[in-house]
Structure 1
C-alpha cells in the first residue's frame, strides 16, 4: 500500500446534519460550548514513528520488572475480551472492572513511586496529535472548558502534559483514575470510583481536578462542575465505542461526536 495515508481521511454519515449542528453551536457562542475528550489514542497518536504508540497505562515501568510482566499478562488476557463481539456488555463490564482492579493492585503491591512515573514518561513513546496544543490554546482563550475523560491514570496524564507540552491550561480538567502517594512518593491507594473503558460518564465529574492545580499554576479555574453542566453544546472526541458514554448525565442540546480510527498499516 505504497503512499497510503489515512491520517486526514474523514467519514461523515450525514453531512447536512453535521452542518446544521455546527451552525447551531456557532449561534449559541462559546459560553454554551464544552469539549469532552478521551486521552489515549484520541489526544495522543495511535502510531508514533511507524510503531504503536503507548498509552498512559502502557508506558508505565515499575522499579520491579516482575510487576511489569504481571501487568502485561493481564493485558494479553483481558484486552481481546474488551473487543470481543460475542460477550454481552454487562459481562464485559465486569471483566473490565476485574482487569483495572487487578492492575491497580499490582501497582500498589509493586511499590510504584512518582519518580518511576517521571522516568517512564521521559522514556515513553507517547506524543500528542498535531494541533492538540493549538486547540487547547484556542479554547482557553475563549474560556471554553475541556474535560479529559480517561480510563488511564490521571497522574501520568498530568506528567505527560508537563514533559511534552511544558505548560498547563486553566480550562482543562481531568476525570481519570487518580493515585494517592505517601510522604515518600510511594503509591498507597487510588482515589474515588474506578474508571475503565466501559463506564465513562459525566457522573464521575466530581473526580475532576483542574490540571493547573497539580502543575503549580496560580490562576483561577474558568469553570466549576456546576457551570460545566450548564454548557449544553458538546464536542465529544474519542476512539472507543465506550467513549460515546462520556457525555451521559449531561442535558445537552447539540452534540457532535468525532471518532478517531485506530489502524496500523503495512507499507510495502
Structure 2
C-alpha cells in the first residue's frame, strides 16, 4: 500500500471549531484502548497543529492521518449536534473494516463472514465457489441495482442454505473466531465506553452473521455493552447446538440499512440467544442526529430510512488511497487514512457530546 503524500484538503480559514476537529483527527497510530482519556483539546492547543497542516505542500513527506474536504460544513454539523445534546444522537457503524482492522499482523484481516469454517471441507469449498461466482457481480458497476439486489439475495440465501445443510454448530463458530485473523481497531473500547456512559445507542450493521459478530465481541473484547445492538442475519439453533434456520429477512450488501431494524438485538453472552430486541423503534427514530462510520461509500446507505436532521459521515479508507481518496472525500465528511485507529472518532464524539 503506497503512502499518501498529498496535503489534506483543508480550507485556509476555517472557524475555531474546525481547528479542534483537525486536531482530534490527527490521533496517535496505536494506543492502549484502556488508557485514560485525554481532555478535549482547546483552540490554543489546536492552532499550531492546524497551521502546520494548512501550510504543508505536495513536497511534504509526512502523510496526513485524515482528510476534511469541507471544514465549514463539518463545523456546522458538529455545532448543531452538540447543541441538540446526546439524547438526539445515535451512532451507526459498519463492522468489517470499520470497527475491525483492515490489516492483521501484516496481512489482510479476515471478515466476520470469511472467517467461518463449518468443520466440513466440502461445504466450505461450496461456499467459496459461490463467492467466486457472485463477488464479481457484487462489484460490477454495470449491473442495474434492482437486478444486482436480486442476485445478492440469491447469493446470501444459497450460502445460508449450505450452512444449514452442512451442519454448522455453536462450537464451529466459537472455534472459527478463536482461530481467526480479526481484531478491533485500537480505541474501539474507549469509544463504546464513552457512548455507553452517555446512553448513546450504537447500531452495528452487517451483511454477515450476527452470531459470529457477537462471538467476536465476546472473545476479542471479553465484554458486552448495553447500548450496542447488532443488525445482521440471525441464526436459529436446535437444542443440540446445530443450525436449523435463519430468522427474519435476509440482510445483504444492498439492503443493509435502518429498514432492517427488526433484526436488531443486543450483543449476547450466548450464541443464538433469542432474547433482546429493539421493542420501540421510535426511540431510535427520535434520535435525528447521526454519526455514521463506514469503510465503503456504499455504507452511507446504512442511514436510509431514517429521517435525520444532521449526519456526520466518517469513512475509513484502508487501501488504494491515491485512487480512492477523491471519491471518499466527496462522500464522507471526514476520512481516516491508512487503517487508522479509532482515536480520531473518540475525540470527535467527545466534541459532539462533551
By the TM > 0.5 criterion, same fold? yes
User: Do residues 140 (structure 1) and 196 (structure 2) align?
Assistant: yes
- Mark the runs of 5 or more structure 2 residues left unpaired by the alignment: 6-28, 30-63, 322-354
1:151 corresponding residue in structure 2: 207
Deviation string 1:123-173 (CA, Å, 9 cap, x unpaired) is: 000101111111000000010000001101000000000000000000001
Instruction: List gaps (5 residues or longer) in structure 1.
Output: none
Q: How does 1:199-218 map to 2 (within 5 A)?
A: 199-212=255-268, 214=270
The structure with more radius of gyration: 2
Contact kept, 8 Å, 1:152 with 1:177, in 2: the verdict is yes
Structure 1 runs (4+) deviating above 3 angstroms are: 4-8, 212-215, 220-224
Q: How does 1:180-259 map to 2 (within 5 A)?
A: 180-212=236-268, 214=270, 224-259=280-315
Give the number of equivalent residue pairs. 262
**More divergent stretch after superposition (256-265 vs 21-30):** 256-265
Instruction: Name which of structure 1's ranges 203-212 and 246-255 shifts more when overlaid on structure 2.
Output: 203-212
TM-score normalised by L of structure 2: 0.70
- Cα-to-partner distance string for 1:155-200 (whole Å, 9 max, x where unaligned): 0000000000000000001110000000000000100010001111
Q: Distance in 2 between matches of 1:183 and 1:5?
A: 52
**Alpha-carbon distance in structure 1 between the residues aligned to 2:254 and 2:71:** 29
Could you say what the CA RMSD is over the residues aligned between the two structures, in angstroms? 2.4
Deviation, 1:13, is: 2.6
CA 1:262–1:92: 2 relative to 1, 3 Å: farther
**Cα shift readout 1:82-114 (whole Å, capped 9, x = no counterpart):** 111211111211121111111111101100001
* Residue 47 of structure 1, aligned match among 88, 92, 103: 103
Compute the displacement of 1:264 (Å).
Answer: 6.5
How far apart are the structure 2 equivalents of 1:139 and 1:160? 20
- Please give the alpha-carbon distance, in whole angstroms, between the structure 2 residues aligned to 1:136 and 1:178: 23
Give me the TM-score of the superposition, normalised by structure 1: 0.91
Q: More displaced, 82-91 or 121-130?
A: 82-91
